[in-house]
Amino acid sequence: MSLDAADEAAVTTQLGRRPRGAMAVAHRCPCGLPDVIQTAPRLPDGTPFPTLYYLTCVRACAAASRLEAGGLMRDMAERLAADPALRAAHLAAHSGYAARRDAAAREAGVPPLPAGAATAGGMPDRVKCLHALAAHELAVPGSNPLGGEAILAMGPWWSAGPCVAAADGPAQAAAVGRDGGPLAAATVGVDGAEA
């Protein structure tokens, strides 16, 4: 599995370099371009890469960064420490992420990461990267409550149109999920490590 030429060109422009270990577009922005890619758990040289869902959209990344600078992660971490239900949901997000990453390793034909390896965004016990949490929620709607909160707080980053010029035009006119079905504009996502 890999990105098609148009998606790879768009992601390369978004990142300013070719993506490493890209397996698929995990979510599309309402503008039609990829905004989250799924990466293999190991890079082509075998280096472990724990970030399964990577936020690529320039505007979405900027919106997540503004929220981080504004203290949203600190506020979420305080709530996580005080709210047992939120902790349980964050742990479930972590477990689901790890299971999907193991499945991606099998699909890519690479060894899975060791049991207990970090997932993304500080899960299961911290809030470390809104990009990663939002990317997870965009790729797997309903999977990451803090990622969902971040997405809503990010606002409609897509409203100004595509963040980069598409090589062959937008790949689709509407946001689509991993299964190809439509998603609401409020469920659009983000990720943080270098893919």
Report helix angle 84-108 to 72-82, nearest 10: 110
pLDDT of residue 167: 60
| Contacts (Cβ under 8 Å, ≥6 apart) of 69 | none
pLDDT of residue 2: 79
CA neighbor of 46 nearest in space, from 116, 93, 101, 113? 113
pLDDT of residue 137: 98
**Where are the alpha helices (H) located in the chain, listed in sequence order?**
5-15, 58-69, 72-82, 84-108, 130-139, 145-154
Euclidean distance between the first and the last CA atom of the chain, given in angstroms as a whole number: 16
Alpha-carbon distance of 50 to 189, in angstroms, equals: 17
Q: Which residue reads 């698929």 in tokens? A: 24
pLDDT along the chain (195 residues), means of 10: 88 94 96 96 92 96 97 97 97 97 95 92 94 98 98 95 71 34 33 43
pLDDT of residue 134: 98
Q: pTM value?
A: 0.84
pLDDT of residue 60: 97
pLDDT of residue 11: 96
pLDDT of residue 95: 96
